[in-house]
A and B are shown apart, each in its own frame.
Chain A
Amino acid sequence: MSTSSNNSAPLGARSAVAPARRHRGTKVRRQRVKAAWLFLAPMLIALTLVAGWPLMRTFFLSFTDASLSDLGAANFIGFENYLVSENGRWFGILADPVWWQSVWNTVYFSVVSVSLEVVFGVIVALILNAEFKGRTIVRASVLIPWAIPTIVSAQMWAWMLNDQFGIINHLLMTVGIIDNPIAWTASATYSMWAVIMVDVWKTIPFVALLVLAALQMLPKDCYEAAEVDGIHPVRVFFKVTLPLITPALMVAVIFRLLDALRVFDVIYVLTSNSTSTMSMSVYARQQLVEFQDVGYGSAASTLLFLIIALATVAYLYLGRNKIQLGGD
């Protein structure tokens, strides 16, 4: 933050000199703009190749009956993948209860896990913000869950949550909270909680670090004032700290929310294709790859894309006063 104020001085200095060499400046400028586009070109080409074009193709394929084995032989079938009425009955994704189940699962998963991550993330950040011996070690170990591949953390938790030999059932039974082992990853009631547990464990560090960065930029003087006035720390948190870190929290929430809405790995490994935890991404991939139905799967992907885009726009619109996106 201090760097930006450093920047303004040379900027001001430059504009003061500019008129004297305007003629040359424009020539240099034109050359620079040309170079800028030249330098951007490789990145733009790469992004078009892996993002722009494939996205367009996915939209297009969602209106066809393409299959994975022969993508070329696709016929245009309009909205049939989405919704079609045959002999008075509705077919297509929008009439598929499994799709709606996966939408609900994804939304439920996203809302619950992001809320838990924010609450615990803030708590962890507040603790890491205090000064104590060994803070570096604690901070490094808090980062570990974030660095572990999702697949690995899913496997580690699958082992800990194993119904017969898992340590979690063992502990819960020893303490006496449960009498019989719980089939965490197989039962329809608990498997979503198992997924949420793993995701929360893995992403608290991310939220905590973002919040911590915001906490460390807070002005010290209002805390000193609060302390002098003898205001209770909890009140100080809700009246001073929380409003000040809200922008950082909003950014953390949108990053996490976008991540959660496209969740795939953890669910695929922990509970494979079970419908009680299936997310939209798992549904789309299952149609695409396992059932080889590229048209139908692309339609699901398109809907997922639209839902996420809508969620983003809505979030940015609602939070427009609190966050400033964009580098400038």
Chain B
Amino acid sequence: MTKTTFLAGCLAALAAQASMAQAADGILTVATIGEPPTLDAMQTPTDIVLTIDQHIFETLYTYDAQWKSVPLLAAGMPELSADGLTYRIPLRQGVTFHDGSAFDSADVVASLTRWMKVNSKGKQVSEVVDSLSADGPDAVVIKLKSRYAPLLATLSQASIILPSEKIADELTEFVGTGPYALKERRPDQYTQLVRFDGYVSPEGEPSNYAGKRQAIAKEIRFVPVPDANTRVEGLISGQFDFADSLPVSAYDRVEASDKAAPVIFQNQGWTSMNMNMKQGLLTSKELRQAVQLALNPSDMMLAAFSDDRFFSVDGSIFPEGFLWHTASGVTRYGEGDPEGAAKLLEQAGYDGTPLRILTSRQYEFHYKIGEVAKAYLEAAGFKVDLQVVDWATLTTRRADPAQWDIFITHSNFPGDPSTINTITDSYPGWYVSDQKAQAVSTYLASTSDDEKAKAWEGVQSVIYDDAPLFKVGNFNGLSGIAKGIPDYVPTYWPHFWNVTPKE
């Protein structure tokens, strides 16, 4: 090695070290869609809460790139008894909470007990859990009354683990095991997280939320910026390092900017028109099927998202790439057939009672979908009463079966298909049917992925036959990242471990 080469090598090493040191002092400023209502993800598992919380708290399992549950605070996959009813979950050792206390099975038992009490998915799990207990300090055992296929998926989201002594009905201290600790929350101004130097990461190649986690930035600041245009302007002016949920109309501006780049997250969620099966017009299956037949999902999604880079139309409830993607049972989904729907209306003896559709402008795409749906349904012969309200009003009204026939909503793609809201009997729409119960029961009893995929085909076929909803389409999410941050990987809930701040 020549002296010049050696010198160049030393200089490069020094520069890299300086760059790392700079990154280690860097701050990531993230513009979010608004202020989280709380940081208690068990109580309020909304996207904005989960986005922030995942940096502070961890769950026993988490989702990898295929949305399969893989260990996070668990040391490995559970040991499952032959009857499929007993799960022994080993826990990682040497993990500490932000307050310095050690993580053990008592924390898991206390946290999951609270989760089963306050969280809507946790409550569903509690109905099948016979017992939850510690098996020494480094393992817990969950005994079920009946097989429950989505158990690991539900233990991968919102079932956060806190120190047992911090557990309370209303959480006042937000202490977790995650790579970042909460330093300060000033509502409507910022939520400040700082690197947790005592963090013990799981091993493995990073994959979605799984694998090695490294807290590179010194701080992450989540800044609520409810106005979408202001998020765009703040991003391209260099004020924010990341801006979440940008309007699709901003894509070209962000792309043209010299300070930021657009990020598209494929298949962020799906939109649906959920029908009221408990009371009113759509208790009639023929009329629900007429609604499905009348609608044209392509036109609805185009109106809602303007550009086909941001949506896809697919009758399968899960998009391509998911284990659960299947064409099984898909029918009355495609071009829109108002004439065919008109015949169904006649057969059902439709008497001209207005079809009440609830939608909200808080999500502009809900409103646009409603407008196009109204045109198609009227073409089929329905009399439509499109009621545009704010989201809080919609969530109240939809709880009362006397007040609506259809409401428009959107959801993400959960880790387990059986946790889709519509499948729950008590979710507004009140989809209760014997064939659904039987298909879901078959699914819940499945243990292997192959069995589950096969059983899910049955569930989807039943959903299409019963017609509790009309799936409109899948949409992609648009966000923006500052240039000079090369290692950001888009995920459904954006995360910022393994992300190097710009110099």
The answer to whether A and B belong to the same complex is no
Q: Which residues from chain A sit less than 8 Å from chain B, CB to CB?
A: none
